Structure 1
Amino acid sequence: MTATLYAYAFLDEFVLLYPVYALLFADTGLSVGQISSLFVLWSLTGVLFEVPSGAWADAVSRRLLLWLGPLLGGAGFALWVLFPSYGAFAAGFVLWGIRGALGSGALEALVYEELELLGAADRYARVMGRSHAVGQSAAMAAMGLAGPVFAAGGYRAVGAASVLACVLCAAIATRFPEHRPPKGDGDGWAATLRTGLADAHRDRSVRGALLLVPAVTAVWGALDEYTPLLVRDTGVPEPAVPYWLMLIWAGVTAGSLLSGPAERLGRAGFAAVLTASALALALGALTEAPAGIALVALAFGGFQLATVLADVRLQHRIEGTGRATLTSVASLGTEVLTIAVYGAYGGLGSVFGHGTVFALCAVPYLVTAAAVARGRGGGGSTQ
């Protein structure tokens, strides 16, 4: 299964459109406000479909959702390059948002339960950490290849390569094992959703784990969209910005790879990771020099490590049949908080520079670290 997972993770992120789609929107004539509205639409789609899709994954086949999602994403990318317009971009983001919702929860639940069936649930952190690292390496490779492919064939060539990656990703997803049969009792996804939410309401440890995931994931995930602007503000020439972004993603990849060895970090260790990462983010952003980007990369690596460990903690605490549902609830919280971060960044960015805003965004992590240290959301090890 792990080989299938790693291939899926690679193709899922090997999308050459990622580093240039904002340029496509601008070249089509969209204003900054219109582009921002597309990002909001993307996030809102995730909010609307996240939990229902998780319940659907618990009620039917998780593998079905994992191969259907990439096909929807590929259709959205095709719309972008074949019919470049605001309407096509909006439709593509809706499809991309649904694609993300279908995979979120379903993938984690399938991997955890297949490992559990093999008596290897303790390998979940290591396996998922490596899959994240593979995906992040694919994103860096896509950044490197997007330039030459774009120079050779423009947006259509980059789009065709992206659609091909999505189709191959869907084909790989059909190879996932799934020994848990779909439910046949007629209850449907609505009943599955009610059961999963009831489990979270009854179990305090599950509620704490559900809250920890968005607290750790949302802020740095939203900041990632603004890293090119932060890098440019340090004086880096625009043609060199992608290379500094690759440095940041190298830090993220390192964080993924460290998740296995760090799985047994206790409450104090987890809080220390968040605190050190927050301080590195603030210091690196406030230097307003290219050297500070290395500290930002270190911070993002720490946040990625904490993100994987928060997911591990949630998976270990979920019992019963609603694993994908509850994982999607955590993702829903992440999406909602991410939209809030976008709004806060927009307001703060109109007053302060990007370095200052990044530094201010380190504060929530210090608050979360303090809560974890006191045992209000991170208690114990990830086991």
Structure 2
Amino acid sequence: MTATLYAYAFLDEFVLLYPVYALLFADTGLSVRQISSLFILWSLTGVLLEIPSGAWADAVSRRLLLWLGPLLGAAGFALWVIFPSYWAFAAGFVLWGARGALGSGALEALVYEELELLGAADRYARVMGRAQAAGQVAVMTAMALAGPVLAAGGYPAVGAASVLACLLCAAAATRFPEHRTPGGEGDHWAATLRSGLAHARHDRSVRGALLLVPAVAAVWGALDEYTPLLVRETGVPDAAVPYLLVLIWAGVTAGSLLSGAAESLGRTGFAALLAASALLLAAGAITGTPAGIALIALAFGGFQLATVLADARLQQRIEDTGRATLTSVAGLGTEAVTIGVYGAYGALGPVLGHGTVFALCAVPYLVTAVLVRAPRRRR
């Protein structure tokens, strides 16, 4: 199963449009406000579909959703390059958001339960960390290839390569093993949703794990969209921006690969990881120099490691019933906080500058570290 998972994770992120789609929008004539509205539409789609898709994954085949999602992504990318316009971009983002929602929850639940069936549930963090590292290597590879492909064939060539990657990703998903039996006719997805949410209401440890995932994953995930602007603000020429972005993604990849070794971190170690990453983020952003980007890379690597560990702790606390549903609840929280970060950044960025806003975004992580480390209240 792990080979299929790593191939799926690589192909899922091997999209040459990723590093250049903002250029496509700008070259089509979209304003910054219009581009921002597309990002918000993308996140809102995830918010609306996250929990229903998770409940659907618990009621039907999870493998079905994992190969259906990339097909929606392929359709969206095709729209972008065949009919480049605001409304085509909006439709593509809706399809892309639906693609993400279908995979979110379903993938984690399938992997955890297949490992559990093999008696290897304790390897979940290590396996998922490596899968995310494969995806991050795909992102860096796509960054390296996007420029030459764009120069050779323009946006149609980049779009065609992206559609092909999505189709190959869907084909890889059909190879996932799934020994779980989907719910029967009486096990409607709405009933599955109610069952999963009831489990969260009655289990305090599950509620805490559900809150921890968006607290760790959302802020740095939103900041990633603004890293090109932060890098440009350091004064480097535009031609050097992709290379510094690759440095940041190398840090993220390292964080994924360290997840297996860090599985044994307790509350104190986890809090220290968040606090150290927050301080690195603030220090790197405030310097305003290319050297500071190395500190940002270390910070993002720490946040990625914390994200994998937070997901692993959530999976360990969920009973078999409603696993994909509750994972999607965590995903919903992440999307909701992400929209808030986009809004705050849009308000503060033009006034304070990118470096200052990045530094301010370290504060929520320091607060989370204090809460994680705080002694648990006794009943």
TM value normalised by structure 2? 0.99
In structure 1, the partner of 2:265 is 265
CA distance in 2, matches of 1:376, 1:92: 45
Which whole-Å deviations, capped at 9, do the CAs of 1:56-79 have from their partners, x for residues lacking one?
Answer: 000000000000000000100000
Matching residue's letter, 1:6: Y
Residues 1:376 and 1:161: Cα distance change in structure 2 (over 3 Å): farther
1:134 aligns with 2:110: no
In structure 1, the partner of 2:77 is 77
Matching residue's letter, 1:243: Y
CA distance in 2, matches of 1:118, 1:269: 29
1:194 aligns with 2:194: yes
The offset of 1:374, in angstroms, is 0.5
The offset of 1:321, in angstroms, is 1.5
CA distance in 2, matches of 1:98, 1:10: 19
Matching residue's letter, 2:129: G
In structure 2, the partner of 1:148 is 148
Secondary structure at the aligned position of 2:352 is classed as coil
CA distance in 2, matches of 1:42, 1:197: 25
Instruction: Point out where structure 1 has 5 or more consecutive residues left out of the alignment.
Output: 378-383
Q: How many residues align?
A: 377
Paired residues of 1:69 and 1:102 also in contact (CA < 8 A): yes
In structure 2, the partner of 1:380 is none
Which whole-Å deviations, capped at 9, do the CAs of 1:137-173 have from their partners, x for residues lacking one?
Answer: 0000000000000000000000000000000000000
In structure 2, the partner of 1:94 is 94
CA distance in 2, matches of 1:358, 1:32: 20
Paired residues of 1:115 and 1:124 also in contact (CA < 8 A): yes
Secondary structure at the aligned position of 1:351 is classed as helix
TM value normalised by structure 1? 0.98
In structure 1, the partner of 2:214 is 214
CA distance in 1, matches of 2:353, 2:285: 10
Which whole-Å deviations, capped at 9, do the CAs of 1:45-101 have from their partners, x for residues lacking one?
Answer: 000000000000000000000000000001000000000001100000000000000
In structure 2, the partner of 1:37 is 37
CA distance in 1, matches of 2:158, 2:77: 10
CA distance in 2, matches of 1:49, 1:338: 15
1:24 aligns with 2:24: yes
Matching residue's letter, 1:165: A
Secondary structure at the aligned position of 1:177 is classed as coil
CA distance in 2, matches of 1:229, 1:375: 40
Range that drifts further, 180-189 or 109-118: 180-189
Residues 1:118 and 1:98: Cα distance change in structure 2 (over 3 Å): same
The offset of 1:187, in angstroms, is 2.7
CA distance in 2, matches of 1:236, 1:39: 26
| CA-based RMSD | 0.8
Secondary structure at the aligned position of 2:351 is classed as coil
In structure 2, the partner of 1:297 is 297
In structure 1, the partner of 2:50 is 50
CA distance in 1, matches of 2:350, 2:147: 31
In structure 2, the partner of 1:256 is 256
In structure 1, the partner of 2:283 is 283
Matching residue's letter, 1:278: A
Which whole-Å deviations, capped at 9, do the CAs of 1:125-144 have from their partners, x for residues lacking one?
Answer: 10000000000000000000
Secondary structure at the aligned position of 1:93 is classed as helix
Matching residue's letter, 1:225: E
1:229 aligns with 2:229: yes
CA distance in 1, matches of 2:274, 2:376: 15
Paired residues of 1:208 and 1:376 also in contact (CA < 8 A): no
Secondary structure at the aligned position of 2:181 is classed as coil
The offset of 1:205, in angstroms, is 0.1
Residues 1:375 and 1:171: Cα distance change in structure 2 (over 3 Å): farther
Paired residues of 1:11 and 1:168 also in contact (CA < 8 A): yes
In structure 1, the partner of 2:351 is 351
Matching residue's letter, 1:152: A
CA distance in 1, matches of 2:203, 2:28: 50
The offset of 1:261, in angstroms, is 0.4
CA distance in 2, matches of 1:53, 1:157: 32
1:342 aligns with 2:342: yes
Secondary structure at the aligned position of 1:206 is classed as helix
1:157 aligns with 2:157: yes
In structure 2, the partner of 1:14 is 14
Q: How does 1:234-253 map to 2 (within 5 A)?
A: 234-253=234-253
Which whole-Å deviations, capped at 9, do the CAs of 1:186-230 have from their partners, x for residues lacking one?
Answer: 231000000000000000000000000000000000000000000
Secondary structure at the aligned position of 2:164 is classed as helix
The offset of 1:350, in angstroms, is 2.5
The offset of 1:348, in angstroms, is 1.1
The offset of 1:16, in angstroms, is 0.1
Which whole-Å deviations, capped at 9, do the CAs of 1:14-47 have from their partners, x for residues lacking one?
Answer: 0000000000001111111111000000000000
The offset of 1:238, in angstroms, is 0.4
Task: Give runs of ≥4 in structure 1 deviating > 4 Å.
Answer: none
CA distance in 2, matches of 1:28, 1:355: 29
Matching residue's letter, 1:222: A
Which whole-Å deviations, capped at 9, do the CAs of 1:112-134 have from their partners, x for residues lacking one?
Answer: 00000000000101000000000
The offset of 1:375, in angstroms, is 4.3
The offset of 1:376, in angstroms, is 5.8
Instruction: Point out where structure 2 has 5 or more consecutive residues left out of the alignment.
Output: none
In structure 2, the partner of 1:381 is none
In structure 2, the partner of 1:62 is 62
Paired residues of 1:267 and 1:375 also in contact (CA < 8 A): no
CA distance in 2, matches of 1:185, 1:25: 45
CA distance in 2, matches of 1:352, 1:315: 39
Residues 1:101 and 1:376: Cα distance change in structure 2 (over 3 Å): farther
